[in-house]
Amino acid sequence: MLPAPHDTYADCEFIRHDLTVRGLISVGITDRAGRDYYAVNADMDEHYVRHSGDEAAVWLRQHVWPLLPLTADLALDRAHPDVKPADRIRQEIAAYYASRAGARMWAYFGAGDLIRIHGLWDHDWGLMPDNVPYRPRELADLIEDFHITAPAQQTPEHHALNDAHYNRLMHDVALAELAGAAALTGCPRLDRAALAELVTNCLARSATPGRGRTVEELIKVMPDWLAADIDAHEPDLATLHGGAIVARRRYEQNLAQWITAFAAQRPGPQ
Q: For residue 230, how many other CB atoms are within 10 A of its CB?
A: 16
Determine the distance from the C-alpha atom of residue 240 to the mean position of all C-alpha atoms in its chain, rounded to a whole number: 21
Q: Say if residues 58 and 191 touch (Cβ distance below 8 Å).
A: no
For the cut 70, the answer to whether the pLDDT of residue 152 exceeds it is yes
pLDDT tens figures, 182-236: 554 454 444 555 555 555 555 544 444 455 556 566 666 666 666 666 656 655 6
> What is the CATH architecture assignment of 7-265?
2-Layer Sandwich (3.30)
For the cut 70, the answer to whether the pLDDT of residue 18 exceeds it is yes
Q: What whole-number distance in Å separates Cα of residue 110 and Cα of residue 29?
A: 12
In sequence order, the 6+-apart residues with CB closer than 8 A to the CB of 217 are 210
- Return the pLDDT at 87: 98
- Return the pLDDT at 228: 63
In sequence order, the 6+-apart residues with CB closer than 8 A to the CB of 116 are 12, 14, 19, 23, 24, 27
Q: Say if residues 77 and 70 touch (Cβ distance below 8 Å).
A: yes
Determine the distance from the C-alpha atom of residue 94 to the mean position of all C-alpha atoms in its chain, rounded to a whole number: 16
Q: What is the DSSP string of 151-168?
A: PPP-S-TT-HHHHHHHHH
Q: Say if residues 40 and 25 touch (Cβ distance below 8 Å).
A: yes
- Residue 67's region, left for phi above 0, alpha for psi from -120 to 50, else beta, is alpha
- Domain positions in the chain: 7-265
